[in-house]
Structure 1
Amino acid sequence: MRVPTITRIAFLFCCIAFLSCKNEEELKTEQYFVEGMQLYMTHCSNCHQSTGEGLSNLYPPIKGSALLKDKAFLSCIIRNGMEGTILVNGKEFNRPMPGNPKLTDIEIAEIVTFVSVKWGKDSVYTPITFVEEALTKCKAR
């Protein structure tokens, strides 16, 4: 019995679609990464550069920083900024970083996801619930 061409095409399409499906976490990570990249380029790259390498002795690098492991800290400084000396990759920086209180919690989660995946060797998104909790625990500076 010969299978009609349209049936074979439909079967092939279903197989391709099934094999290319991603789970919810993978899709969310991709979504947050892309949105976070756009937000980072708009709000962060002027100082930290598009490469994440910072600007000489003025602004610290994000790329390779151990601080990327502390997503709660990142969330707080994105929202509230920080003052004082910070040690990044063995080098001290002492320029104030202005916060951005206009960014929403989801936008902060997306930026944290982007920098964590891009330069922190993370592989999953930072949930908005994590950022919301972190922001309730940090203080405005």
Structure 2
Amino acid sequence: MISTSLTRISKGLALFVGFAVCSCQSASELKSEQYFAEGYQLYTTNCANCHQNDGEGMANLYPPINGSSALTNKALLACIIKNGMKDTIVVAGKKFSRPMPANPKLTDLEIAEIVSFLTMKWHSDSTLTPIEEVSKALKECEVN
């Protein structure tokens, strides 16, 4: 009986602390954290097999994302994630020519979350990539 009461008290205390911590953050900070967390999950599922969990790529087969100049161009990242890539690229002085497959099943929101994760993790960007920015980029890369 006493252990049940203590369990309820500790659960209640944990909930209170959780609400207190969350209430200290702005809505935009919470949304950025959500995009980062969702982007991490999507990256792990769709990208990490080739680019690895640490973003360092796989030897001479797949390029690193960490340190890539593509991180400075969110529109380009969105287009590459959605449509894949067939061109030879140079990352950190190394050439990579293995094609990257398209990810046509990813939604604009999912791509925004992946781009947010990538740029927050490996480009010191502290803000999320809005879905509107990704949708606009994807429409433009369809035309080109």
Could you tell me the TM-score, scaled by structure 2's length? 0.82
Contact 1:87 / 1:93 at 8 angstroms: preserved in 2?
yes
Indicate whether 1:59 and 2:62 are aligned: yes
Is 1:80–1:140's contact at 8 Å kept on the other side of the alignment?
Answer: no
Identity of aligned residues (%): 61
Distance (Å, rounded) in 1 between the aligned partners of 2:40 and 2:85: 22
Residue 87 in 1 paired to residue 102 in 2? no
Secondary structure, counterpart of 1:87 in structure 2: strand
One-letter identity of the residue aligned with 2:111: I
The total of aligned residue pairs comes to 127
Q: Which is higher, the Rg of structure 1 or of structure 2?
A: 1
Deviations 1:49-94 (A, max 9, x none): 0010000000000011111010000000100001021111221110
Q: Secondary structure at the match of 1:99?
A: coil
Q: Which residue in the other structure is 1:8 paired with? A: none
Find the counterpart in structure 2 of residue 121 from structure 1: 124
Q: Specify the alignment match of 2:108 in structure 1.
A: 105
Q: How has the CA–CA distance of structure 1 residues 21 and 87 changed in structure 2, closer, same or farther, with 3 Å as cutoff?
A: same
In 2 relative to 1, CA 61–17 (structure 1 residues): closer, same or farther, beyond 3 Å?
same
> Which has a greater percent of helix?
2
**TM-score of the superposition, structure 1-length normalised?**
0.84
5+ residue gaps in structure 1?
A: 1-12
* Runs of at least 5 residues in structure 2 that lack an aligned partner in the other structure: 1-15
Shift of residue 17, structure 1, vs aligned partner: 3.3
